[in-house]
């Protein structure tokens, strides 16, 4: 059983966190919790994106607690003060009130989150074998994890799909509301309580995705959602090598090789953990560079969306496909084997 006091992470907008930090600095030691909320609403920060109404009291409370527990602000004698840590000073210097956060600011926030014990224990540790890691280590050595939600479990258990019998028994034994996070070493984190789900699945997981610490993709429901730490150092030479391997491994005498885009992207992710957008841009640029040797095979959104029983995850299924300049989703790439000769030169 996890300690609820350590499950304070909740879904927040870090642009709002940045702006509230600047307001606390301006009013250092003057704002209590209620004044914090009032100033945030007055300055158009703690308000709903649509309708311009104040965020719910519980949501405003979450903002305060996230900032406190990340060590960005401190509550002394019921008044808020800016933390004296060097990281927070750098964050203030690297950002501007009511201006989109700079990449430098985001990097500082990433490090603040990665250095937080609760965030590590309840999420990031699952990506790592060595517990003594920093952001650089996560990017360099982090392994992908797989997430199975109740909706996924219901879908493929009720779909008549052929799955391993032992796996079937495992799933029957799992409470229907449990969210399961599993890494390649078969280490498992089960989210059973509402606090665990709000803090880990809807909290720190979303922070990580929004701040580009991790990318997420779904290829099929049986495998689940893939989350992987982003390796930001994109290497075109390595991408060419992966393309060549796919061409060489094709078991066909045909001069054209057909590669399914989602499974190609998955193979790249598992091998390199490059940013998803960089992988897609590489493929689009490759098509433009070798347009006579590469053909795109489009698909329809209906075909893509039929893989999921509910609309809220359509975007993740679609994210595993290319989207070209003609506004088409691309499901397969046809590559002429002559490309092998050209790339091997």
E strands within 160-260? 179-183, 188-191, 214-218, 225-229, 256-260
Q: Is the CA virtual torsion 254, 256, 261, 264 positive or negative?
A: positive
Rounded to whole angstroms, what are the CA distances from 203 to 63, 130, 217, 224, 319? Answer: 12, 24, 18, 19, 21
Query: Which H/E stretch holds residue 26?
Result: helix 14-26
Distance between CA 227 and CA 212 in Å, rounded? 11
Residue located via tokens 């099929």: 220
Q: What is the mean pLDDT of residues 264-283?
A: 96
**4-115: in CATH 3.40.109.10:** no
E strands within the chain? 73-76, 79-82, 145-148, 179-183, 188-191, 214-218, 225-229, 256-260, 294-299, 322-323, 329-336
How do the domains of the chain map onto residue ranges? 4-115, 124-229, 236-344
pLDDT confidence of residue 3 = 58
Q: Residue 226 is encoded by which pair of tokens? A: 């893939």
pTM: 0.90
pLDDT confidence of residue 1 = 42
pLDDT confidence of residue 313 = 53
Rounded to whole angstroms, what are the CA distances from 326 to 281, 296, 329? Answer: 15, 11, 9
Distance between CA 69 and CA 57 in Å, rounded? 18
Share of the chain above pLDDT 70, in %: 90
DSSP code for 100: P
Residue 53 phi, psi dihedral angles, 5° rounding: -95, 155
Check pLDDT > 80 for residue 172: no
Distance between CA 13 and CA 63 in Å, rounded? 9
Q: What is the mean pLDDT of residues 131-136?
A: 95
What confidence category does residue 300 fall into, taking pLDDT thresholds of 50, 70 and 90?
A: confident
Check pLDDT > 70 for residue 2: no
Residue 231, number of CB atoms within 10 A of its CB: 18
Check pLDDT > 90 for residue 200: yes
**Digit-coded pLDDT (tens) for 26-69:** 999 999 999 999 999 999 999 998 878 999 999 999 999 999 99
Distance between CA 310 and CA 56 in Å, rounded? 27
Q: Which residues contact 321 (CB under 8 A, 6 or more apart)?
A: 261, 262, 299, 304, 329, 330, 331
pLDDT confidence of residue 162 = 44
Distance between CA 303 and CA 260 in Å, rounded? 14
Q: What is the DSSP string of 111-180?
A: HHHHT-HHHHHHTGGGG-SSS---HHHHHHHPPPEEEE-HHHHHHHHHTT----HHHHHHHHTS-TT-EE
Check pLDDT > 70 for residue 167: no
Least confident piece of the model among 108-112, 170-174, 299-303: 170-174
pLDDT confidence of residue 248 = 86
Whether 91 and 108 have beta carbons less than 8 Å apart is answered as: yes
Residue 12 phi, psi dihedral angles, 5° rounding: -140, 160
Q: Residue 193 is encoded by which pair of tokens? A: 């309580």
pLDDT confidence of residue 314 = 54
Per-chain mean pLDDT for the chain: 89
Check pLDDT > 50 for residue 169: no
């Amino acid at each position: 059983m996890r300690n609820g006091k350590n499950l304070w992470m909740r879904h927040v907008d870090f642009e709002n966190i940045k702006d509230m930090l600047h307001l606390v600095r301006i009013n250092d030691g003057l704002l209590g919790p209620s004044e914090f909320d009032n100033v945030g609403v007055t300055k158009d920060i703690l308000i709903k994106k649509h309708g311009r109404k104040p965020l719910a009291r519980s949501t405003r409370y979450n903002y305060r607690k996230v900032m406190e527990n990340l060590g960005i602000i401190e509550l002394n004698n019921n008044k808020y003060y800016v933390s004296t840590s060097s990281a927070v000073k750098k964050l203030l210097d690297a950002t501007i009130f009511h201006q989109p956060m700079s990449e430098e600011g985001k990097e500082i926030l990433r490090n603040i989150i990665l250095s937080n014990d609760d965030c590590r224990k309840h999420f990031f540790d699952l990506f790592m074998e060595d517990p003594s890691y920093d952001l650089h280590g996560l990017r360099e050595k982090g392994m992908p994890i797989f997430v199975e939600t109740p909706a996924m479990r219901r879908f493929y258990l009720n779909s008549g799909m052929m799955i391993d019998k032992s796996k079937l028994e495992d799933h029957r034994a799992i409470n229907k509301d449990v969210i399961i996070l599993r890494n390649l070493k078969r280490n498992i984190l089960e989210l059973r309580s509402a606090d665990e789900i709000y803090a880990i699945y809807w909290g720190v997981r979303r922070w990580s995705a929004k701040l580009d610490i991790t990318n997420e993709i779904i290829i099929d429901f049986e495998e689940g959602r893939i989350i992987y730490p982003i390796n930001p150092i994109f290497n075109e030479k390595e991408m060419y090598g992966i393309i060549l391997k796919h061409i060489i491994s094709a078991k066909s005498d045909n001069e054209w090789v057909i590669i399914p885009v989602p499974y190609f992207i998955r193979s790249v992710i598992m091998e390199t953990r490059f940013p998803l957008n960089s992988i897609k841009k590489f493929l689009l640029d490759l098509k433009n560079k070798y347009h006579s040797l590469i053909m795109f095979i489009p698909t329809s959104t209906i075909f893509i969306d039929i893989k999921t029983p509910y609309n809220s995850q359509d975007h993740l299924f679609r994210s595993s496909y290319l989207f070209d300049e003609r506004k088409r989703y691309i499901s397969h790439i046809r590559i002429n084997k002559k490309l092998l000769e050209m790339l091997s030169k």
